[in-house]
Amino acid sequence: MNYLHCHACGCQNPATEFLTFCNNCHKKLQNNYADWKGKHPGQPYEQFLAAIATASRTPPGTPGTGWIKRTTHHRRRYMLTCCIIILLSIITGTIIGKRLVITWFYPGVNKAWLYTSWERMTIGRQALQISTPAHLRINDKALPPDLASGITYHKRYTNDQDEGMKIEVKFFSYLINTSNSLHSAAIQSVKSMETSPDISDIQYKELPAQPSDKTECLLQQGTYRYKEAILLSFSNLVMVRGQHRWIVSLHYRADDQTGREIADRILRTVNIKDTYGG
C-alpha cells in the first residue's frame, strides 16, 4: 500500500487522489496529488504515486518517528513545567508563606504601655536601676562553658508577658584576673545573638551612651531576621564598670513605631548607682 508522508508530525497517510491534509495532525501535506497535478499537468495519478508516495508496512495513521520525537519533547516540557510549579509551591510554602504567618501572628507593642504607670526596679546586687512597663523576673540561663569559667556571678531578668517586646537585663561579675573591657562586652553581646538558631541577617551600628559617669557604655542598634521570617529591631545597651558588666536588650517589630518609642523611653531610664557592693 502507498502512503503519503507528513513532514509535520511524521505520520504515514494512506495515499488517495483527494488526500490534502494529514489524518493525524490535520496540517497540509507538502506532497499532495492536487498540488503535484498543478505542477505536472497531464500526468496520471499512478505517476504521482511512483514519484512521491512510499510503500510502507506501518499501519495507516500510525505516527512515525517525527511524531514520537515531538510527543516526547512535549512530554518533557510538561514534566519540567510540573516540576517548576511544585518547586515554586514548596518555596512559597516554606519561605513566603512562613514569613506571612509569622509576621501576621507576631504582635506589636501594646500601645497602653505609653500611658500606664511603669515599674522602677533595682536589679542585681550591683544596683542597676531601670523603669519598664512590664514586670521583670529572674529567668537565669546556663552560660556557655567558655564564658562561665571567668564569671563569679550572673543574673538574667526578662518580662513576664511578651506583649510585642522582649525586655532582657543581664548582669555578670568577672574574676579579678579576667578581662572585662567594653570592646569584649560588645562582641559578646552580638555573639550571643548570632548563636541563636532563630536569628539571622544581623545588621547593626554602635553609638556612644553614658548612663553613668563612672561606667563605660555603648548602644548597639539594628535589625535581624527572626526565624528567617519577620524583621525585628533590637537595642543592646552594653555597660562595663570594673569587673562588672550589664546588658539591657530590647527586641520588637522593626515596623512598630510604638515599640521604637517604648524602647527609647526604657533606655533613658537606665542608671547605675555610683556606690555599689562587690
AA letter at 111: K
Per-residue pLDDT of the chain (278 residues; tens, 9 = 90+): 788 888 888 888 888 878 888 888 888 888 888 888 888 888 888 888 888 877 654 444 445 555 555 556 667 777 787 677 666 555 555 555 555 545 555 788 888 899 989 999 887 766 889 999 999 998 888 888 878 888 899 999 999 766 789 999 999 999 988 889 999 999 999 999 999 999 999 999 999 887 666 789 999 999 999 988 889 999 999 999 989 999 999 999 999 999 999 999 999 999 887 654 44
Question: What is the per-residue pLDDT for 80?
Answer: 81
Instruction: Residue 51: name the closest of 14, 12, 2, 11 by CA.
Output: 2
Cα-based angle 17, 18, 22 (whole degrees, multiple of 5): 110
3-class DSSP assignment, residue 60: coil
Are 193 and 199 a contacting pair, CB within 8 Å? yes
Instruction: Say how far apart CA 25 and CA 158 lie, in whole Å.
Output: 74
Place of cell 515531538: 70
What per-residue confidence (pLDDT) applies to 278?
Answer: 42
Indicate the DSSP class of residue 106. Answer: S
User: What is the pLDDT, as a whole number, of residue 57?
Assistant: 47
Q: What is the pLDDT of residue 144?
A: 82
Helices (H), 149-226: 182-194
Length of the chain: 278
CA distance 66 to 244: 82
pTM of the model: 0.62
Residue 182 has a pLDDT of 92
- Domains detected in the chain: 2-63 (no CATH), 111-272 (3.40.1000.10)
CB 266 within 8 A of CB 132: yes
